[in-house]
Structure 1
Amino acid sequence: MSNYSAERHQAHLDTIRRALDGLIPGAVSANLKVKVTETLHEHPDGVQSFHTWEGPSTAVAERVFTALYGQAGPDLAPSSPVEQAAAAKSARDLGGEIGALMAGADDLANQAWYPPRPGDLIHLAYEGSLGLTAHGETYAVTQTAETSADFMDMSLLHSSYPDSPFAGCYAVSMDPDPLMEMWMEAGSYRLTVVRDGVVVHNGPTRVVS
C-alpha cells in the first residue's frame, strides 16, 4: 500500500479518469465504456475467435490506479483542485501542486457546456463540516448593459443557511470566468449547473470509489 494521503490518491485517480474521458473529447463520463479485445488464433476454417471485456471507463481507471498506487479504500473522499494542490504542497510535491491546479482549470475548460452563459444557475452543495450544517447556495450568472461582452457577474440568489459566514463568498462581478474560483475551490463534484431548465452538469451524482 502506498503511503500517499487520501487527497493525493484522489488527485491521481482523477488524473487517470480524465485521461480516459479525453479519448472522446466532450464525452460524458457516465456514458463511456471501454472494450478490450484479445484476438485468438484463427481456426482451421478461417474464423477468428476473441476474448473480450467491456465495462465503464471508471472501472478501468480504478484498476490502473490500484495497480500503480494500491487499493484506495472505501473511505476515499473526493477533493477539489485547490485541496489537491494543498495536499501536494504539504508533501513538498511542486509538480503535483502545479499539476492539480492546471488539471482543474483544464477540466472546467473541457466541459461540453463551458463557458458559462448569462442565465445559468449554479447550485453549490456544502457538506456539514467546520461546525456548519449541510446546506446549499444558488447563484445566477448575469450580464448587464454596463458589463463588457467579455465579462459576467455571478450573484447569490439563495442560501439555505443565510447565517453561514461563507454565504455568497463566490459572488463575483465583471469577471471573465465567473465560475473558475468556485470550480477550483469547492470542486466540480459539489456543483450543479442548470442552463435553460436543463441540468448540464450534475457533480453530486458522481460515484467516487
Structure 2
Amino acid sequence: MRPDPRLTIITEALRQPLPEVTQADMIYGYSATYFAPDAAQRPTPWGMQVDMLAHLIHTRLYGRPSSTEQASPLAQAEDAKRRRDLGGELDALAAGQASLQNAPWYPLQPGDVVHVSYAAINDVVSAFGETYLIEAGSCDGFLNMRLLARSGDFDPGADLTVADDPDPLFDVWFEAGPHTLTIVRHGHVVHPAGGEGR
C-alpha cells in the first residue's frame, strides 16, 4: 500500500518547510493577536503532530487521502456488494463503463498496443506485465487482442487474448482496472497507467 502522494508532499512541507530548518514532528501555532492586551481576544495556542495536520489539510483540500492502491471497477463493485450497497455497486459499474467509453482514444484501433501491469503479491508472485497488439478481426468492426510478450518469470497459465470482439478491452478494463493499463497509438501513449492520457 502506498500513501497518497499529495499527503506525502504536504507532510514533508510541514515537517521541513525550509532546507535549513530542523525537521519537526510537532507544530505549534500562535496568532499575532495572542499578545493583544485584551485577554478575551487572545486565541488559545495549539499544538498538533505534523502528520495529523497534513491529513487535516489534505482532507479539506482533496477529501480523505487514499492509503490503498487504485481498485478496478469490478473490485469497487464487489466492495460495494460486500457492504450491501446496491447503489454503490451499480455506480461503480456504470462509472467504469463511462470512463472507458468516454476516453478520447476510445475505441481501440488496429495497431494499438496495450500493456497490462500486474503488481507483486507479497512474496508469492513478483510484478510482471503483458503486452498485447490490437488487430483487425475476421468480422467487420471486430478486433483481436493478441499477446506479444510477457515480462517477469510468473506464468499465470492464461492470458487476455481476445478474438473477434467489438470491444476487446472491456473485460480487462473492468477486471484489472484502467490504472494498470498503458495504451499506445501511433507511437504516443494515449492512456498511461494510473493517469490521464491525451
TM-score (norm 2): 0.64
Specify every segment of 5 or more residues in structure 1 that has no aligned partner in the other structure, as ranges.
1-5, 7-60
Instruction: Give the aligned partner of residue 155 of structure 1.
Output: 146
Q: Deviations over 1:2-26 (max 9, x none)?
A: xxxx9xxxxxxxxxxxxxxxxxxxx
Q: Deviations over 1:82-117 (max 9, x none)?
A: 000000000001111111011101100000000000
| 2:156 corresponds to 1:165 | yes
Q: Deviations over 1:170-202 (max 9, x none)?
A: 111111100011111111111100011111110
Q: 1:107 aligns with which of 79, 91, 99?
A: 99
Instruction: Give the aligned partner of residue 121 of structure 2.
Output: 129
Count of matched residue pairs: 140
Q: 2:108 aligns with which of 112, 116, 122?
A: 116
Instruction: Give the aligned partner of residue 92 of structure 1.
Output: 84
Instruction: Give the aligned partner of residue 57 of structure 1.
Output: none
TM-superposed CA distance for 1:163, in Å, is: 4.1
Cα 1:83–1:64, aligned 2, differ >3 Å: closer, same or farther? farther
TM-superposed CA distance for 1:203, in Å, is: 2.0
Higher relative CO (Cα under 8 Å, sequence separation at least 6) belongs to 1
Specify every segment of 5 or more residues in structure 2 that has no aligned partner in the other structure, as ranges.
2-57
Q: Aligned runs of 1:43-54 on 2, under 5 Å?
A: none
SS at match of 2:155: coil
In 2, distance between residues paired with 1:172 and 1:101?
Answer: 21
Whether the aligned pair in 1 keeps the contact of 2:128 and 2:154 (CA below 8 Å) is: no
Instruction: Give the aligned partner of residue 20 of structure 2.
Output: none
Q: CA RMSD in A?
A: 2.5
TM-superposed CA distance for 1:129, in Å, is: 1.1
In 2, distance between residues paired with 1:162 and 1:196?
Answer: 29
Instruction: Give the aligned partner of residue 77 of structure 1.
Output: 69
Structure (1 or 2) with the larger CA radius of gyration: 2
Identity rate, percent = 41
Cα 1:64–1:103, aligned 2, differ >3 Å: closer, same or farther? farther
Instruction: Give the aligned partner of residue 199 of structure 1.
Output: 189
Whether the aligned pair in 2 keeps the contact of 1:159 and 1:167 (CA below 8 Å) is: no
TM-score (norm 1): 0.61
SS at match of 2:90: helix
